[in-house]
Structure 1
Amino acid sequence: MRIPFGGSCPAGSVSFVTFCTLPPDASWKQIFVSPLRESVLPSASLTFNFVMVRRGRTLIHLFVLCPAILPALNLLHDLLGRLPPDLNLDFKFDLCWILIPHARSLSGFYIYTKAAAQDSGEQARLDAVKATAPPTGACVRFWYHMHGSRMGKLTVYTGDEKGGLGPSRWSKKGDSGDYWQEASINIYPGSEFQITFVGECRASYGNDIAIDDIVVLERQCSSYASFSDLKCDFDSKSFCAYNNSQNDDFDWILNRGSTYTGVSGPDVDHSKGDSTGFYIYIKAMLQNPGDQARLDAVKATAPATGACVKFWYHMYGSGMGTLMVYTGDGKGGLGPSRWSKSGDSGNVWHEASINIGYGLDFQISFVGECGRNAGSEIAVDDIIVLEGQCNNKATFSDLECNFDFNAFCAYKNHPYNEFDWHLHSGPISGPDTGPEADRTTGDPSGFFIYSKVSRYMQGDQARLDGVKATAPATGACVRFWYYMYGGDEGTLTVYTGDGSGGLGPSRWSRKGDSGDYWHEAWINIYPGSDFQITFVGEGSWGYSCDVAIDDIIVLERECDSTVPLSDLNCDFEPGTFCAYKNSQNDDFDWILNSVV
């Protein structure tokens, strides 16, 4: 009895449809010549389900079961137990993958999960027979279709050495558009594997997951990832298009909530901001200082406009190590580091971005390096790759910082400092030279940053760099509060270089004791100029001087107060007019010139 597509069949009947050529020795096929009936089944017509039987990779039979209720399922299961042992049976009591005509051809077939008939969270699992990859490795390719406003999730596994599913190798969640898309997974050379597709439902009509055209090649996948493949928030409980390297000391792991130690790492992910969201991190416990965990993405190619890699990182802990990001050409080597961060960055998530050159092949690699103890758990979340170069210039709101979120905001310690700026709340330990409270709240619970310049030699520097920004046509005003109290002569200097690497000329500076209270200072930024705020604390040879900063703000106008005399100094070397501008009430203008 052949069941037409989209129809139903009489209650209690079990039939089969043969659509592949049977092998000559298939005498057992006579088992299912006649329909089976159960008198206990209801008389109403119900939707049918399917069961597939295969010999190796060859699909032999399609069984149609009507209705899909337990007595008939048990009966069919008993009969199928008499099949030869070399046949692989895809048969699930909770939810079946269903064969129907392919959209590209009414005579073709694909499989899909019927979400409307299931509860949210129910899964359909499709297992392949086990196989072994050759020394050249293998490539699993398949096409998937996931279209719907409440689409579920498709996850692919390739098994582990214990016979379990192992970690997810590929996952997709949500609407991917009303068309077929290709995906591929590399299988490591010589490894045993078992392909498993798991479709997870969100109970909603018209949100079915479909698969077609599965093929396994005896070589590694050669296709490059799309930028959508490289996007990953890890909330699908998978590494997406990222894989732990075989050439490192230990691995990145998926996690949600607090880390194992509880004294380092995040408490929540960045995507959701709560303990249900997932992120990846390195578990530093039981590792040695300097041990590295490397995570490699699938190769990709930047378009002619270039590309921008954005991600969020969390580096909080007393023994914090280093996070490095590489964008090698995917031929094996990492290439030079494109981004690096060391030390404690506070118990908050920070965003970072890296430009990819125009038309270049690239492979993103995250390398986490353990610090001096278990308090060096580094986390990463929300990786995304965009077409076009990154906009690495900050808005003025980005540059505003009162440090009360226990974070440096858009400011960071320079990697080649002799010593650093530190976040702090309350009195500073040691000689009574630092503030008792922050400037924002006037309370010991408020945060500020400070540099203990009295502990270092004259000439030693602690440099804090802001993100680059551009002043509007009206100019800009940088305001901040500073605290310098103590008998020794430490120095605080502020620069507003153009962000190309050099500090440029000093724009503001103070040396020595300024009294036991907070002072306000301001610096004008020239109209239309690029700038990067840099605070530099310099050592004093003594033991009684701390420099503190709080409440940095940048306004889209020039400062109200009269400029300090140092602002009037100008040698025009930065290629700007400094504090000078051409008048609107004259006949023509002064112009910048160079003898080069």
Structure 2
Amino acid sequence: MSPIVKVLLVLQLYVTFTCVANEVDFLSGTKKLPGSCDFQGGICGYESENTSSVEWILNEEGRYISLDHSFGDGPQKSVLVSPDLQPMEWTCLRVIYQISTSVPDYDPSKLNVYIRPEGESFDFLLWSGSDPSDSWLIASIDLKNTSQSYKIVLEGLLGEDTGASIAIFEISLTLGYCLACDFEENSICGYMNFWNPNVNWFVGGGAVRNSPSTLTMDHTLKNETGHYMYVDSIYAKRIQEVAQLMSPITTTPMSGCFSFHYQIQKASEIEFMLYTRDKYGHYEEIWKAEEYTPSKWNLAEVNIRAPYPIAVIFEVAFYSAVAGYVALDDISFSPHLCANETDIFFDTSEASCDFEDDICSFKQDIRDGPGWTRVTVKRNVYRPGDHTTGQGYFLLTSTKSSRFQSGYIRHLYGPTLPEDLKYCLRFFYAMYGYSKVTSTLAVYLYEENLIVREKIWSSPSTSKGIWTEAEVSFQKPMSTKIVFVSLCKSFWDCGLIGLDDITVTLGDCRNKQGLWLSHPGECTFEVDGCGYTQQKRDRSSWHRTRGSTPTSFTGPQGDHTTGVGYYMYIEASNMHMGQKARLFSQLLRGVYGLQCVTFFYHMYGSGTGILNVYLKVEGENKEQLLWRRVGDQSISWLRDQVEYKCNRNHKIIFEAIRGLSLKSDIAIDDISLQKGSCKELEITRYSSRILEDLNEIEY
């Protein structure tokens, strides 16, 4: 069966289902905003962009648009752009779509949804889907409050599979949060039942009269035509049959009051609970029905923290086939705390520190004697500076203060972390001079009495003298403190330990890759080249690599992002003096006002040449020099920022020129292109520092 035939069959089923409830659509009170389209009378002002290799096709009956290989084989791309949309309060964007394939797992097709804010150089990726399906799926995407006009951009990418297709049935924009739902819409707001052979969530009310659990009225409309969700024990086959209803996954950070109305028929034989679940399957119970009036609508409110993508799951467990029912209606969300709760959300920034201004909320044990010292390092070619900028501050502990002792132990105590939360700790460390590095730096969790402790991380045996990222996830049922412990068992085994850029966030550390979709102008080179291109690719081009460069006494020992990741560099041994390698950004839309380029660069080696940053305006031959560095700068990764203005389409170019000798490798990493003024120019920050600072050292 062809993908398009599948689409038509599924469409017929969808229309058959929705026709039953069409009589109450007008009762839901949900107003569709401009930008919404059901493709009944056309494509609602959406237009194909000239970057498309094929176009979306409107079905002859006007029920959906689709994309397939009818007009050519091989990878295809089609971009559909909405009309200009005006600033709105918090809005929920829903896309009903289907991706079909004839060869599973072969070069999958993909549907991407972007937002294009007015005055921005980039389209911001909101959501991406590639899972094939024989039925319509719903993508629910929260759009935060905005004060600027914007457009919605839909990008269909067809892979090599010639039988693949992508179809869009409806685009819907409504005011409010995607978590909110009164179940009056046919799509039930993207909520999904986890199918169970015996007990499941169903839509109740309206024209549906197929269960003894049907209520006389819903909560929204207070009559029998309104809709709600319910689950009944009548089909339960064993003790503790479980039914789950899952919300759409959140797509932007949010915290506030989650509320809903519910009914429970028999309290003694039913458990009704509310969980959050992250993408890795970690469940956290946040509410349980305990005090309520049976067979009446009850209001429940609970504070929700969603700093990373989560789904909310309503779970009902039946302990008897005659336990009755649970009904659910009018789910809502508010960015404010619930009225009946005083829970204050913990600000994880209180447990984070880059040590640029002070040691933040961290403390030391005076019984340790001279311990961790906040220092900065003058720009030099012998020892690296801090991780944050290459010229800032970090913490250092060493044997210099313990020269007549057999060893030492140093403690650095973080602030108290509230109980029952999942945390991710990330930090950067560097070690120098240790003959045995295993466990010379460790992280412990101390209970508040500072007596009971648990080791959650220790330095591996492969540590080397570069800034390396470490991360660890943890959750404890009691309040705890993070404690960094530096241990030296004997003088001859000791050296220097640096600590910098400690961050604590909520959630599993694995959320790092799937947290929120990153800024499109940011590139760490960890996955690929981020759309940066070169006019030619040969041995004298920019190269993406990890670890140290082949030539001694030049180039970095690792990347800036994690210490073990990727960066771009030129290999001087493959070039002759004065030869250039040029790296071009993707085409950036021109905007009015300042724009900022932030990047890290590494220029170490006695023969180091030149690194330039240029602005290239589309249609012009002349390039504008924005920034330049010449010669050996530091053994450290250094951060710099440069501002520019350009209201025409343009590119940013990184140009490296090989110097006098083989010791001329140049590297760049962690590039960020953003609208607005740079917070600070690195050259200004460096030149204004007081060099006589008592904590500024060379070692």
Question: Could you say which TM-score interval applies, normalised by the shorter chain?
Answer: 0.3 to 0.5
> TM-score w.r.t. structure 1 length?
0.33
> TM-score w.r.t. structure 2 length?
0.28
